[in-house]
Amino acid sequence: MKQRVRKRKCKHCRDFFNPDHRSGKRQKFCSKPECRKASKAASQRRWLKRPENQEYFKGTYHVQRVQQWRKNHPGYWRNTSDKKNALQDTLTPYLKGGQEFTENLHEDALQDILTSQPAVFIGFISQLTGSTLQDDIALAARSLRQLGNDIINRKPINTGGSYDIKTPNMSRPNPKDSRSV
C-alpha cells in the first residue's frame, strides 16, 4: 500500500498544500496562479544556469536556426483571428458525374439548398470542432458518419424473448379452455 504524501509548504506563498500524488516528491509550489508563475520563473532560471543553455539564444548558429524556423513557419506570430492564411487547402465544390450546375434557379429553391449541402456540412463541423483544418474536419466527419450508421443500424439492446419489455407476459391470448376470473 502506497503512503500518502504529506502536506508541503509552497516555496512562493508559504501556504501548506497537498502535492499531486504523481509528482509529490518533486512538487515545490502549490497550484495558485501566482505560484505557478513563480514555479515557471524558477524553472527557467534553473534551465538558464546550465552551461549548455547559457548561449542558447546567442551566436550566429542560433540566429540562423531561428531565421530558418521563421522562414518555414510564416505568419506564426501574427494574430490568429486572421482567417485569410488558414492552414488548409481551398475546398473545391464536388459535383457527381453527369451533374451540371444550373444558375437559373430561384433564390429560395430547394435545389439551391441541396447543392450547398457539402459546404454547409463542412461549415457546421467547423463550428462544432472550433477548427478550420481539413484534418480535424475529416476526423469529425468520420466519427459523425460512424455515429449515424450506428444509430440507423442499431440492434435492440434487450433480446429477452417473452420477458422483453416490449412484449409483456400479460399480452398473450388466453388458452381456449380457460375461464376468465
Does 95 reside within a domain? no
Does 161 reside within a domain? no
Does 75 reside within a domain? no
- pLDDT at residue 50, rounded to an integer: 93
- pLDDT at residue 110, rounded to an integer: 46
Does 52 reside within a domain? yes
Does 167 reside within a domain? no
First to last CA, the chain: 65
Does 57 reside within a domain? yes
Mean pLDDT by 10 residues, the chain (181 residues): 75 92 87 95 94 84 88 79 55 58 52 61 83 82 83 67 52 61 57
Q: What are phi and psi of 177, to 5 degrees?
A: -90, 5
| Range(s) of the domain holding residue 45 | 8-68
- pLDDT at residue 114, rounded to an integer: 46
Does 94 reside within a domain? no
CA 57/CA 171 separation, integer angstroms: 82
- pLDDT at residue 87, rounded to an integer: 55
- pLDDT at residue 2, rounded to an integer: 61
The model's pTM? 0.36
- pLDDT at residue 154, rounded to an integer: 76
Residue 42 corresponds to which cell in the numbers above? 524558477
Residue 2 corresponds to which cell in the numbers above? 502506497
Domain count, the chain: 2
CA 140/CA 126 separation, integer angstroms: 9
Does 30 reside within a domain? yes
CA 78/CA 164 separation, integer angstroms: 61
